[in-house]
Amino acid sequence: MTNKIAKSPSSYLIEVKTLSDRIVKAQQPIRILDAIKWDDGIKQAFFNGQCKIPPPVDGAYYANRPLGFDPVEKKYEFYQIERDLVRKLGQLNPLSVIMRRICREYQDVVDMLTGRGTPLFSNISQELYGSSQDVFHVGDPTIADLGSMMEGTLQQLLKLDFLTEEAKTITAKDAVAILNEKIQALFPGDGLRAMLSDGILSDAAAGTDYIKLRADALFNQRDLRVLEVHEIWVHLGTTLNGLAQPYCTFLGKGPPSATVTQEGLAVLMEILTFSSTPNRLMRLINRVRAITLVEEGANFMDIFQFFRERDMSEDESYLLSSRVFRGSTPEGLPFTKDLTYIKGFVLTYNFMRLAVSKGKPDRIPLLFCGKTMLEDMKVLVDLVEEGTVIAPRFLPPQFTDLMGLSAWLSFSRFMTSMNFRQLEQDYANVL
């Protein structure tokens, strides 16, 4: 037998890795959510005013929150990487195109953070994450329309006693222990973990190699199942797959535009595993509705009242309202990141069903190669075939065997073409 000698990476692949590593290093000090969050003093001032006076947030507030990097130098750093991509890889090379787009996007992020408390912040936010007035495809409803359409159905379901969720009795500390057991079972020895945190708005959030749970949050078993499939399977799983990439290391650190695919996959996993609930979906839709209202002229007090009218506590209404206005001011335009959950779900689901209808279901797992973007999927197929990108090391169970997923998705084109209003009439005597 002859021993196989491993091939050394070509000079091209070495160049790809060097440039990719530079992008990863350059983005490290950029922490969007840390730079735009409202501290506990803002919340305390709001409640000291009996929830009648808008939070005291203006341009001066953000000016006193350092970014942790020099904006001019950071933009120039990305510009230099962009220029070197052309010099080293060329203008039309697919990876050069992708990485230059990422460099420009991070320059936009720097401009957005520099513009905290001004209309520029929200304008760039809409460019990065979308607007409620965006359509999914030509002639389709807007994201705002989808929110309105789903709201009516979900409100009906939430009135049903037998769909009431169980009480939240699991403390964050106990939830961390349970999630760490699940993480170790899936990713033994990879250093991933769940941990407590006091500095997040949501009940949970995923970082590079961890899940943070808000220390004062309470959970039930279904909440933990959602966290397992959403945060562990998707966010930590794609991070792990991205960090395993030998050359395209940028796939381990997604720019804001990758958030659309990331959150879309995460919500899709909730649906595929029957983990989500009408109440969970209503929370996502309420965020869409809140952003829509702000884009139409509502202020912080209007949105706080919007959530209060949906039977939310003052504390929860404040947290949700501050999500919409973080980075902005109580009278300003919204931070639109929360649109990505529903927007990403629709776009990712459509990609999957079209992949099946075109006889290309094998492309679906490539979404998990790292922090991917839908617009790069065609290039990603070629990169995997040539070995520049490796196939995902971890896949959720639903994507390891594509037969069942393909069978389910193969019906979707036909089912969605049916006239729903006619169905309502025809089934009137049945339901």
pLDDT at 157: 84
Indicate the DSSP class of residue 374.
G
**Residue 430 token pair:** 């049945």
How far apart (Å, rounded) are the C-alpha atoms in residues 114 and 125? 12
Tens of pLDDT along 372-411? 999 999 999 999 999 999 999 999 998 988 888 888 888 8
**Residue 394 token pair:** 């971890």
Q: At what angle do helices 71-89 and 94-114 cross, to 10 degrees?
A: 170
The Cα-based distances of 343 to 129, 308, 423 in angstroms read 9, 25, 26
How far apart (Å, rounded) are the C-alpha atoms in residues 344 and 234? 13
How far apart (Å, rounded) are the C-alpha atoms in residues 424 and 270? 27
How far apart (Å, rounded) are the C-alpha atoms in residues 106 and 96? 15
pLDDT at 417: 78
Q: What is the DSSP string of 331-349?
A: TSPPP-GGGHHHHHHHHHH
pLDDT at 6: 44
- The candidate with the shortest Cα–Cα distance to 109, out of 37, 32, 21, is 32
**Residue 233 token pair:** 């399977």
262, 234 Cβ separation under 8 angstroms: yes
Residue with tokens 């203006």: 58
Beta strand segments in 134-203, E: 170-171, 193-197
pLDDT at 409: 86
pLDDT at 8: 62
| Predicted model pTM | 0.90
B/e letters for 302-316, b = 16+ CB within 10 Å, e = fewer, are: ebbebbbebebeeee
Tens of pLDDT along 52-109? 999 999 999 999 999 999 999 999 999 999 999 999 999 999 999 999 999 999 999 9
**Residue 390 token pair:** 């490796």
Q: Which residues contact 36 (CB under 8 A, 6 or more apart)?
A: 62, 113, 116, 121, 326, 327, 335
- Return the amino acid letter for 405: L
The Cα-based distances of 256 to 45, 107, 144, 338 in angstroms read 31, 12, 21, 12
Q: At what angle do helices 94-114 and 119-129 cross, to 10 degrees?
A: 150
Indicate the DSSP class of residue 135.
B
CA dihedral of 266, 272, 277, 283, whole degrees rounded to 10? 30
- The backbone torsions φ and ψ at residue 86, rounded to the nearest 5 degrees and listed phi first, read -70, -40
**Residue 349 token pair:** 């689901």
Q: What order of strands is seen across the sheet that includes strand 210-214? A: 193-197, 210-214, 204-206
How far apart (Å, rounded) are the C-alpha atoms in residues 300 and 307? 11
pLDDT at 93: 95
**Residue 344 token pair:** 């990403």
Q: What is the DSSP string of 43-95?
A: HHHHHHTTT-S-----HHHHHTS--SS-HHHHHHHHHHHHHHHHHHH-SS-HH
How far apart (Å, rounded) are the C-alpha atoms in residues 376 and 107? 20
Give the Cβ contact number of residue 125 at 10 Å: 27
First to last CA, the chain: 70
How far apart (Å, rounded) are the C-alpha atoms in residues 291 and 40? 23
**Half-sphere exposure (Cβ direction) of 114: Cα atoms closer than 13 Å:** 13
- Low-confidence residues of the chain, pLDDT below 50? 1-6
Q: Which residues contact 42 (CB under 8 A, 6 or more apart)?
A: 55, 56, 57, 61, 322
